[in-house]
Amino acid sequence: MGKKYQQVTPQVDSRWRLGTTAALATVALFLAVYLPLAGQGFVRDDYAWILRSRVSSPDDLVGLLSHDIGFYRPMVGLTFAVNEWFFGLHPFGYGLTNFLLAFGCAVSIVVLGRAMGLPVGGALVAGALWLLHAEFLPIGVLWISGRTALVMILAATASAGALLGGRFWPALAWLAVALFSKEEAVVLPFVLLGWLIIRPSAIRPLAWAGGAGTLVVVYLIARTMAGATNPANAPAFYRLTIEPAIVLDNLVWYAIHGAWTAAIVAVLGALVLHGKPASTDSPRAPGINSILMCSALWIAGSFALTIWIPIRSDLYLALPAVGVSLAAAAFCTQRWRKASPARQHAALVLAIVFVAAMGPVHLRSAREWAMRTAFAATVLRDLDVLTSGLPAGSHVVLNDDRNDPHGNLGTVFGTMASDAGALVTAGPMDIWIEPPPPHAEIMGLRPPCPDCADLRLQLVAGRLRQMR
């Protein structure tokens, strides 16, 4: 008996230490890459969010729910209002909020994995895979407006976890937060109804259908009353299409970019974690197949809207990545339970190596976003200084240099140049970028007449300069 403990105990301790190291390595990578680069500056939609989410009275707070600011996402607007209360126009506080939201999403996915029946290790794998996703995480954390997806995912996963735990009212409350954060959440009630059918809980499907259905109706009424955009009046690049070429192209693109991280982990797990179950292993626990089915339903529901939109975004990968991560974690858990301790040990070592290998991938993408946001902060300061003597209502033309290695105005301002100016100038001004950024005409922007410009500025070596 003594000899047996001498052989097994070090293996168990070693696996525990390696598993802890892999989890801590993921968190360390996230901290080391994203915290120093968070909140370098504002880009594009950020200006409109800050400008139109300001709350200085109870009426303004009600206005977040009753007015459309381009997208009907009042819960996201509330986070911008809170950020401005605490941080003013200092971007680091906004970036820190995104950083904490992303980490909160990973923790919520771990909790959801446990509620679905994954062991602690499997649930940690699910959260780590989501946090290691190099496609959407840089834009989600480093672009302030990327929090639209983060707030929605945090609420969606919390709702799903509460539902599986039999907590009806918290599940509905979190569902409401998700719905009023981003349009993709409108499919969540149907996805979770399918979960209740696949994995019965203390909450009956009919009760959930009634409560969630009522919330969806309230949400749709609120959107309509606020005058929010819909599939009929949305800009062309956001309007749903059934053109086969576009839909097929989207399917292929989202499949490749959304699943490659989890696919690599699943393949490595299949290669390393194989063999006959060891005598000391636990028997295979039921429920893995149901987790895979629920994950597949989540993925399908997450793409139910975005797959039909002509324009693609890395942010659209964040919600389905929850299902992809849970599925990969369930698959690895299934293989883990069949593997010998030696192979489990090897898999954990490989996991640490994989996390380390993902570091340069994240760092490269994060630095690109950090350079963009830092450039945006520089030109915004220049705009503030150079327009300080102009009265409200002035016309300003910004001559862009699309070949400037530091960045270009079309990328960092987009169609929001006037909103950016309104944050720092003495009063609202009409700011036009020449050549115009993409979608300027679709968004109703028009250049001033040739002799109407009160000030012309030129982008030179990453800085705005006044033209003579």
Task: For residue range 59-84, list pLDDT tens digits in order.
Answer: 878 878 777 776 789 999 999 999 99
Per-residue model confidence (pLDDT) at position 422: 85
The domain in which residue 323 lies consists of 19-368
User: What is the average pLDDT score of the chain?
Assistant: 87
Kindly state whether residues 358 and 392 are assigned to the same domain: no
Evaluate the CA torsion angle 260, 186, 110, 209 in order and state its sign. negative
Q: At residue 11, does pLDDT exceed 80?
A: no
Last residue of a domain, one of 337, 368, 399: 368
Kindly state whether residues 359 and 432 are assigned to the same domain: no
Kindly state whether residues 392 and 360 are assigned to the same domain: no
Kindly state whether residues 72 and 112 are assigned to the same domain: yes
| Phi–psi pair at 434, nearest 5 degrees | -125, 125
Kindly state whether residues 58 and 151 are assigned to the same domain: yes
Kindly state whether residues 171 and 319 are assigned to the same domain: yes
Mean pLDDT of 432-439: 84
Kindly state whether residues 294 and 417 are assigned to the same domain: no
Describe the crossing of helices 91-116 and 2-34 by its angle, rounded to 10 degrees.
Answer: 150
More confident call, 361 vs 3:
361
On whether residue 376 sits in a domain, the answer given is no
Mean pLDDT of 3-7: 44
Mean pLDDT of 288-292: 90
Kindly state whether residues 207 and 131 are assigned to the same domain: yes
Per-residue model confidence (pLDDT) at position 394: 84
Rounded Cα distance between 83 and 246, Å, is: 38
CB atoms within 10 A of CB 342: 12
Coil, strand, or helix at residue 430? strand
The band of 3, judged by pLDDT with boundaries at 50, 70 and 90, is: very low
Last residue of a domain, one of 368, 401, 422: 368
Kindly state whether residues 211 and 282 are assigned to the same domain: yes
Per-residue model confidence (pLDDT) at position 215: 95
Q: Residue 219, CB half-sphere, CA atoms under 13 Å: how many?
A: 28
Pseudo-torsion of CA 163, 166, 167, 168, nearest 10°? 70
CB 141 within 8 A of CB 34: yes
The band of 261, judged by pLDDT with boundaries at 50, 70 and 90, is: confident
The band of 276, judged by pLDDT with boundaries at 50, 70 and 90, is: low
Query: What confidence tens digit (pLDDT) does each residue in 16-54 have?
Result: 888 888 889 999 999 999 999 999 999 988 998 998 888
On whether residue 13 sits in a domain, the answer given is no
Last residue of a domain, one of 368, 395, 413: 368
Domain count, the chain: 2
Per-residue model confidence (pLDDT) at position 246: 87
The band of 9, judged by pLDDT with boundaries at 50, 70 and 90, is: very low
On whether residue 373 sits in a domain, the answer given is no
Residue 180's nearest CA partner among 145, 132, 228 is 228
On whether residue 454 sits in a domain, the answer given is yes
Rounded Cα distance between 150 and 152, Å, is: 5
Per-residue model confidence (pLDDT) at position 62: 81
pLDDT more than 70, % of the chain: 92
Query: What confidence tens digit (pLDDT) does each residue in 118-154 have?
Result: 999 999 999 999 999 988 999 999 999 999 999 999 9
Query: What confidence tens digit (pLDDT) does each residue in 81-110 have?
Result: 999 999 998 999 999 999 999 999 999 999
Per-residue model confidence (pLDDT) at position 426: 67
Q: At residue 282, does pLDDT exceed 80?
A: no
On whether residue 92 sits in a domain, the answer given is yes
Query: What confidence tens digit (pLDDT) does each residue in 326-351 have?
Result: 999 999 998 888 888 888 888 899 99
Pairing status of strand 430-434 against strand 455-460:
unpaired
On whether residue 190 sits in a domain, the answer given is yes
The type of residue at 233 is N
Q: At residue 281, does pLDDT exceed 70?
A: no
The band of 12, judged by pLDDT with boundaries at 50, 70 and 90, is: low
Kindly state whether residues 392 and 361 are assigned to the same domain: no
Least confident of 195-209, 219-233, 261-275, 394-408: 219-233
Per-residue model confidence (pLDDT) at position 436: 86
Residues with Cβ within 8 Å of residue 133, at least 6 apart in sequence = 261, 317, 318, 321, 325
Kindly state whether residues 351 and 428 are assigned to the same domain: no
Kindly state whether residues 418 and 327 are assigned to the same domain: no
Per-residue model confidence (pLDDT) at position 359: 92
Coil, strand, or helix at residue 459? strand
On whether residue 228 sits in a domain, the answer given is yes
Per-residue model confidence (pLDDT) at position 286: 45
On whether residue 312 sits in a domain, the answer given is yes
Per-residue model confidence (pLDDT) at position 417: 86
CB atoms within 10 A of CB 280: 12
Per-residue model confidence (pLDDT) at position 279: 40
